Chains A and B, each alone.
Chain A
Amino acid sequence: MKETAGTPVQVTGTVLTTRRVDAYHALTVVAPGIAERFRPGHFVSVAVGGPHTSMPARRAFSVHDVKPDYGGTVELVFAVRGRGTAWLAERKARDTLDLVGPLGRPFPVPRDPCTCVLVGGEYGSASLFALADTLQQRGCRVDFVLGAASADRVFGALRARRMGETITLTTEDGSLGLRGLVTDALPSVIADARADVVYACGPMSMLRGVTAVAVEFDIPVQVSVEEAMACGYGVCMTCVLPVIGDDGVTRMARSCVDGPVFRGERVRFEDVGTIPFDALGAPGGRVQEGGAHSRNVS
């Protein structure tokens, strides 16, 4: 069961500021209640389109930053992708937004000081800075690897430079940092920093690659996944992916309430978008859940 600190609330937030950050939009919203319950890795879900919207699904966004100002503000960073984010990009200061949050399982943080590599892809970097803060407060060393397709899509390089012991940037077109993927740079960063743990947030293909690297180095990896969500708080069952449980059984876990943060090696990346034949309740597959015997249909 979740502690009260993580229990989500629904609030009508007021937009404080809007700005462009390269390819992204950033919205700071006064959202008391959410800010004080926030832990790094949490996300919020936003209703888009106004009170008579024709868009029934909420949109999920990681929380980039929370500040105590104005009773508690949260900052979201997003890319315009479809109708909902286009509507969000048109919001102005003093507009109101319906937010539910904080949602999801936050990043677990180590008890003792250690060395952490934080890997962000595109706007996935947004959720890493609050984490870096917390880690540093606990005496951890933080190294960043941030990547994207092109320079304008790398988010947070300046802030990472201020916070990180080292920072490595990669772009696919070579317009900033090293040409290539974060996973090309990651092994040497882990080796040089003698990293104890990897945290990653970004597209699924990147998380898969980062997990493979961490497994190679035999260090734990925590990934924050992004699956299409309609609600964000666990009621619609649309956001599932195959995850291996403590008992070794694969279940179709909800990325909104069982995640979005999972241990990388527990996520069956190669089977995302399928129901693996050995998943609990898969057609013609495993039908029994720990101890409970399903009876024969007579």
Chain B
Amino acid sequence: MSVDMRTYLAHVELANPITTAAGCAASGAELSQFFELARLGAVVTRSITMAPRAGRPTPRMAETPSGLLNGVGLQGPGVEAFLERELPRLVDRGARAVVSIAGGSVAEYTALARRLSDAPGVAAVEVNLSCPNVEDLGRVFARDPAASAEVVSSVRATLRYDLPVVAKLAPDVADIVAVARSCVDGGADALAMINTPLGMSIDVDTMRPALAAGTGGLSGPAIRPLAVRCLWQVHAALPGVPIVGMGGVASGRDALEMILAGACVVAVGTALFHDPYACLRILRELEELLKERGFERLADAVGLAHRPPGAGPRHRTDLEETSL
């Protein structure tokens, strides 16, 4: 018996829960040299901006223990070139495209949403809230529940009603549940977490910051516990909201951990730099683990770790009750 791996991103059905993470699969064409993109639950694009962006200077990358710091700075072709060249290729290859958008003002997000509304082949729009708000002294949207909600509600109001809006949250905030709740109140159909927390590395030979930009986003296995904590807290507070989990997923076990914490979709980022087949391998391993544990449907595992102690874990009856 095979496991039913179908899942839903809001009302959009995905054949399986494994997607790429925004910014970790370039235009999609690069990975399609290795396998058919249609085999993924969805391809999440890099964050698209209105105008082309050259990104940050090099060095853009520093390896840290079990992690990677990056300061790419959203290098990309801009929305027009994306719609002309990159999106049609994803659609032609049968991929489900979730388009990530990024802007420096609410107006820019709104304009992007307007451009995407009539674009054929968009399955959902992910709103990358980890951008500095140029109108608010460069304060990052994702760190402010009200600013996040404003972006989300304006995108929601602009986008075609049947396109789900996924709000992508940053983990380095005082209260991620508050930001999550604001986004849902603002009209987010689903949440994606986590984006990269800020980190820094200093090269002790040159005695200078390792990245040209100084600080950068930390990704990879090093941040998985942080991601699981965020998923856990948000799923506990908002159990009905679909969550895309990501942060250091490199194996089927890692993906299952995210699912048990409350994710119904799992995105793979940095692992793609190590293994171009990471998504397909993780999907295979995940299905195997679910099967071993007696699940017939992936959906039955979502958030399962939240069940109260004593609710009878599946197949494990030898756990002792704690004496509290």
Q: Are A235 and B272 in contact (CB under 8 A)?
A: yes
The yes or no answer to A57 lying at the interface (CB within 8 A) is yes
Which residues from A are CB-within-8-Å of B276? 10, 100, 231, 233, 235
Q: Are B54 and A292 in contact (CB under 8 A)?
A: no
Interface hit among B30-38, B176-184, B311-319: B30-38
Instruction: Say which residue of B58, B78, B81, B273 sits within 8 Å of A57 (CB atoms).
Output: B273
Q: Are B63 and A55 in contact (CB under 8 A)?
A: yes
Which residues from B are CB-within-8-Å of A281? 51-55, 75-78
Q: Are B70 and A236 in contact (CB under 8 A)?
A: yes
Q: Residue on A with the closest CB to B67?
A: A56
Interface hit among A26-34, A117-125, A268-276: A268-276
Q: Are B52 and A7 in contact (CB under 8 A)?
A: no
Which residues from A are CB-within-8-Å of B65? 54
For residues 234 through 262 of chain A, which have their beta carbon under 8 Å from a beta carbon of chain B?
234-241, 251-252, 257
Mind listing 23 A-B residue pairs with CB under 8 Å?
Answer: A10-B276, A53-B274, A56-B270, A57-B61, A100-B276, A228-B61, A235-B26, A235-B31, A237-B55, A237-B72, A240-B75, A275-B57, A279-B54, A281-B52, A281-B55, A281-B75, A281-B78, A293-B80, A294-B50, A294-B52, A295-B50, A295-B115, A297-B103
Interface hit among B104-112, B284-292, B299-307: B104-112
List the 5 shortest-distance A-B pairs measured between CB atoms, nearest first. A281-B52, A234-B30, A238-B61, A231-B273, A292-B80
The yes or no answer to B84 lying at the interface (CB within 8 A) is yes
The yes or no answer to A86 lying at the interface (CB within 8 A) is no
Instruction: Say which residue of A54, A252, A273 sits within 8 Å of B54 (CB atoms).
Output: A252
Q: Are B56 and A292 in contact (CB under 8 A)?
A: no
Which residues from B are CB-within-8-Å of A233? 30, 33, 276
Beyond A240-B58, A281-B78, 14 extra complex contacts between A and B, CB < 8 Å = A7-B33, A57-B68, A230-B68, A236-B61, A237-B75, A240-B75, A241-B58, A275-B56, A281-B51, A281-B76, A289-B52, A293-B80, A295-B50, A297-B111
The yes or no answer to B66 lying at the interface (CB within 8 A) is yes
Which residues from A are CB-within-8-Å of B77? 281, 289
Q: Are A294 and B58 in contact (CB under 8 A)?
A: no
Which DSSP category, helix, strand, loop or mixed, fits chain B's interface? loop
The answer for the CA separation of A257 and B105 in the assembled complex, in Å, is 33
Q: Residue on B with the closest CB to A55?
A: B63
A interface residues with partner B (beta carbon < 8 Å): 2, 7-10, 47, 53-58, 98, 100, 227-228, 230-231, 233-241, 251-252, 257, 272-275, 279-283, 285, 287-289, 292-295, 297-298
Q: Are B111 and A298 in contact (CB under 8 A)?
A: yes
Instruction: Say which residue of B23, B57, B277 sits within 8 Å of A10 (CB atoms).
Output: B277
The yes or no answer to B234 lying at the interface (CB within 8 A) is no
The answer for the CA separation of A297 and B50 in the assembled complex, in Å, is 8
Which residues from B are CB-within-8-Å of A282? 54
Which residues from B are CB-within-8-Å of A57? 61, 63, 68, 273-274
Q: Residue on A with the closest CB to B250?
A: A56
Given the known interface contacts A292-B80, A294-B80, the answer about A8 and B34 at a Cβ–Cβ threshold of 8 Å is: yes
Q: Residue on A with the closest CB to B24?
A: A235
Binary per-residue interface labels of chain B (236-280) against chain A in the complex, 1 for a CB within 8 Å, 0 otherwise = 000000000000001000000000000000000011111111000
Which residues from B are CB-within-8-Å of A285? 54
The yes or no answer to B25 lying at the interface (CB within 8 A) is yes
The yes or no answer to B60 lying at the interface (CB within 8 A) is yes
B interface residues with partner A (beta carbon < 8 Å): 23-26, 30-31, 33-34, 46, 50-61, 63, 65-68, 70, 72, 75-81, 84, 103, 105, 107-108, 111, 115, 212, 220-221, 250, 270-277
Q: Residue on B with the closest CB to A100?
A: B276
Q: Are A54 and B51 in contact (CB under 8 A)?
A: no
Which DSSP category, helix, strand, loop or mixed, fits chain A's interface? loop
Instruction: Say which residue of B46, B70, B84, B108 sits within 8 Å of A238 (CB atoms).
Output: B70
Q: Are B52 and A297 in contact (CB under 8 A)?
A: no
Q: Residue on B with the closest CB to A9?
A: B34
The answer for the CA separation of A275 and B23 in the assembled complex, in Å, is 19
Q: Residue on A with the closest CB to B66?
A: A54
Q: Are B108 and A297 in contact (CB under 8 A)?
A: yes
Q: Residue on B with the closest CB to A242?
A: B54
Instruction: Say which residue of A10, A53, A272 sits within 8 Å of B58 (CB atoms).
Output: A272
Which residues from B are CB-within-8-Å of A235? 24-26, 30-31, 272-273, 276
Nearest-Cβ distance from residue B206 to partner chain A, whole angstroms: 13
Q: Are B66 and A56 in contact (CB under 8 A)?
A: yes
Q: Are A56 and B271 in contact (CB under 8 A)?
A: yes
Q: Are A273 and B78 in contact (CB under 8 A)?
A: no
